[in-house]
Structure 1
Amino acid sequence: MTSAAQEQSVVVGIDGSDASLGAARWAAEFAIAHALPLTLLHAVPRLEWHFAGAEAPTEPGGNGDEVLAAAEADLRSAQPDLVIRTATVKSAVATALADASREARLLVVGSGAADHRVLGGHAVRTVHRAPCPVVVWRAPVAKRSGKPLPVVVGIDDSEASGRALAEAFDIARALHAQLTVVHMWELDAAVGMGDLGGAGNMDWQLLDVLETQQRRRMDELVQPLARKYPDAHVVKVFQDVSPAKGLTDLSRQAQLVVVGSHGRGRLAGSVLGSVGQNLIHHAECPVLVVR
């Protein structure tokens, strides 16, 4: 590992909610697996401090120092060797997280049923503004029984997908999990039938060509990484379904879904930027968005 990599940290937003504590536990495991320090960040908007005078505003989980101390104690009980830093920042939440992410290996924020809480409501803005990969954490609905749940990565033919795939290989290795590589696209739209509601004559020859091209492209993306990670257990999935629906369905049996940010393939319906935003709201496990 390079000295530059060692200087980076995993940053997790802390607001006193159960979702942020779950995010912190996930981030701690990632940090341990990658030999990185963990930074617990609590943001307080300046406007709130202005009206509160000398006192920090009261939040659902307590004041900033109490929130950070409680999270740190919880993490140290499970990971005593983890290097943990804490910081309280007077700034808008999304701004504080985006600023901290500039030097981060990964940014993690919690989200879930209580999306109105301090961090949950800022998840989408944070993903758009952070220059590093961002995990929006929520408790997975699938329960592990025996072997680890799979890591799912959605790809198209964009550069962002290539980076997402590389990140997914690395995380699956660290988690000792199967990697499910998924390419989903709506065939009707790809062959120009999307506006016909299924009516008209299907160009089967064109359809075969497109399918062959996409399968070849998937192989081209996967093979170099499979050689880099020879112990990886890779399962490829190629489906005629919208990426948003397909990945959301797979999230119900996964521990993490990985997508590229603002990726746009050359085929209609192959847009992972909007899919990433959809997953942030609807996936039933944590979502990693990779730039």
Structure 2
Amino acid sequence: MTTAANQPASQSTVVVGIDGSDTALGAARWAAEFATRHALPLTLLHAIPKLHWDFASADAPAELDGSTHADGVLVAAETAVRSTYPDVAIHTTAVKGSVATTLVDASDDARLLVVGAAAADHRALGSHAVRIAHRALCPVVIWRQPVAKRTGKPLPVVVGVDESEQSTRALAEAFDIAGTLHAPLTVVHMWEIGAAVGMGDLGGEGPMDWQLLDVLQTQQRQRMDELVEPFASKYRNAHVSKVFQDISPAKGLTDLSREAQLVVVGSHGRGKLADSLFGSVSQNLIHHAECPVLVVR
């Protein structure tokens, strides 16, 4: 079942999953701001899980196949969005199918997919957030209300980088969205250095190779500069700060999320160091970050 308002769904769009929760409404408002700033249409998508009836028929009552509930959920979401963003082009769609599969399918031609994080009532969308983020074919925002309060200045966008190709894509997204939001950008490289220089397996009591430590730190700072420089040249008005910390990426980025409006991260890293440290970071942030998380594939 599909209903439309103002805009065909075929063009590149910002897709937001709608499940009737307050978190989904928050995600829809965030998505509407992104869509408005990028001159894109907004698609509000509600998945209706398939029912297994022994006597299913094409003329089953609407109240049984979920369409009545879907209509109400989508109307409420569209009303909430239009109260703040009256000019955004909105397309509403209800599709029979599993939540994760329906949203992943919609990501195929989407600019961005936005879903709400799991709330206290554990509604359908939130419980599928990790699966959606790691199967989607476009960047995914897992939205939750930031704990940081605005003080008159925009809260920063934080992006975590490592040595993978995905860091370049994550940086590109982070610079773009920070520029759109007129927000400062914090580029972060976090690496538990002790494990690489002789202390990790000895409970902190092994001999520290200080020369190796200095070499590794210098190399990592140079690599960060090399990653950032092309984007800083392109976005000359960007206000960029760099953070280099000896801490696990998951913990460090979670800590920074308490003072941010968005954290950007790749879905997984590549290479020995990236696999060991960054492979689970996006999943950890989806569950524990205290602001929205943008996962870039």
Q: Same fold (TM over 0.5)?
A: yes
2:20 counterpart residue number: 16
Alignment of structure 1 residues 20-169 onto 2, 5 Å: 20-47=24-51, 53-56=60-63, 63-114=69-120, 116-169=122-175
| Matched-pair contact (CA < 8 Å) for 2:162–2:274 | no
TM-score in terms of structure 2 length = 0.91
Instruction: Give per-residue Cα distances to partners, 1:126-178, cap 9 Å, x unaligned.
Output: 01110100000000001111111000000001001110011000000011101
**Deviation per residue, 1:186-208 (Å, 9 max, x gap):** 01112242111111211111111
Distance 1:50 1:132 in 2: 37
Using a 3 Å threshold, how does the CA distance of structure 1 residues 238 and 57 change in structure 2: closer, same or farther? farther
Query: Is 2:246 the counterpart of 1:240?
Result: yes
Q: Which residue number corresponds to residue 233 of structure 2?
A: 227
**Structure 1 gap segments, 5+ residues each:** 1-5
Contact between 2:118 and 2:127, CA under 8 Å: does it hold in 1? no
Return the offset for 1:51.
Answer: 8.5
Q: CA deviation at 1:272?
A: 2.3
Alpha-carbon shift at residue 54 of structure 1 (Å): 2.4
Instruction: Compute the RMSD of aligned alpha carbons.
Output: 1.9
Distance 1:211 1:115, change over 3 A: farther
Post-superposition shift, 1:269? 7.7
> Are the structure 2 counterparts of residues 129 and 236 from structure 1 closer, same or farther at C-alpha, using a change threshold of 3 Å?
same
**Once the 2 structures are TM-superposed, how far is the Cα of residue 114 of structure 1 from its aligned partner?**
2.5
Q: Deviations along 1:247-289, whole A, 9 cap, x unmatched?
A: 0000000000000011135437863231000000000000000
Determine helix, strand or coil for the equivalent of 1:248.
helix
1:190 aligns with 2:196: yes
The residue identity in structure 2 corresponding to 1:229 is Y
Structure 1 residues 215 and 12 mapped into 2: Cα distance closer, same or farther (>3 Å)? same
With structure 1 as the length reference, what TM-score do the two structures score? 0.93
Query: Is the CA contact (8 Å cut-off) linking 1:43 and 1:90 kept in structure 2?
Result: yes
SS in 1 for 2:128: helix
Contact 1:259 1:272 in 2 (8 A): no
- Per-residue CA deviation, residues 33-67 of structure 1 (Å, 9 max, x unaligned), is 111000000001112688894234598xx810011
Matched AA of 2:175: F
Q: How many residues align?
A: 284
Q: Output the CA distance in 2 between the equivalents of 1:197 and 1:24.
A: 46
Return 5+ residue gaps in structure 2 as ranges: 1-9
Deviation for aligned residue 1:118: 1.5
Distance 1:268 1:105, change over 3 A: closer
